[in-house]
Structure 1
Amino acid sequence: MKNVGKTDRIIRLVVGVILLAMIFFLESNWRFLGLIGLIPLYTGLSGSCLLYKFLGINTCPRE
């Protein structure tokens, strides 16, 4: 069930790509924190967020 709206999905995709880019631009061991970007990237692509489901949040417009 999709519960992530269009604007929310775009924001998640942008944040995910920026976080993943940290892997390539940071020199220290902190760069692997960029892997956290996989979470917003996945939820943005799938349109479904497990945390939103547990909290009862739905940013998808009603059909």
Structure 2
Amino acid sequence: MKENVGNTDMAIRIIVGIVLLAFAVIEPAANWWGWIGLIPLVTGIFRRCPAYYLIGTDTCGTAKQG
């Protein structure tokens, strides 16, 4: 699996993931929403998004043209 998450996309995913995880710690009643933050955090850190493979998207600019 090659990288398909670009720099801006990666930064947004990591920030959103951290915010959601912090929300899970701060607001225990909404705990399960915060754990969803693991998905963008992990995909941002590893720069690989399985959903992007399924739809053929690449935000890091390495996709073949033509």
Structures share fold, TM-score greater than 0.5: yes
Higher helix content, 1 or 2 = 1
Question: How many residue pairs align between the two structures?
Answer: 62
Q: Which runs of 5+ in 2 are unaligned?
A: none
Aligned residue identity for 2:27: L
1:1-63 mapped onto 2 (5 Å cutoff): 1-28=2-29, 30-62=30-62
CA RMSD of the aligned region, Å? 1.4
* Alignment-mate amino acid for residue 25 of structure 1: I
Query: Deviations along 1:15-55, whole A, 9 cap, x unmatched?
Result: 00000001121142x22220000000000000000000000
Instruction: State the TM-score, normalized to the length of structure 2.
Output: 0.86
Between the aligned residues of both structures, percent identity stands at 43
- Structure 1 residue runs of 5 or longer lacking an equivalent are none
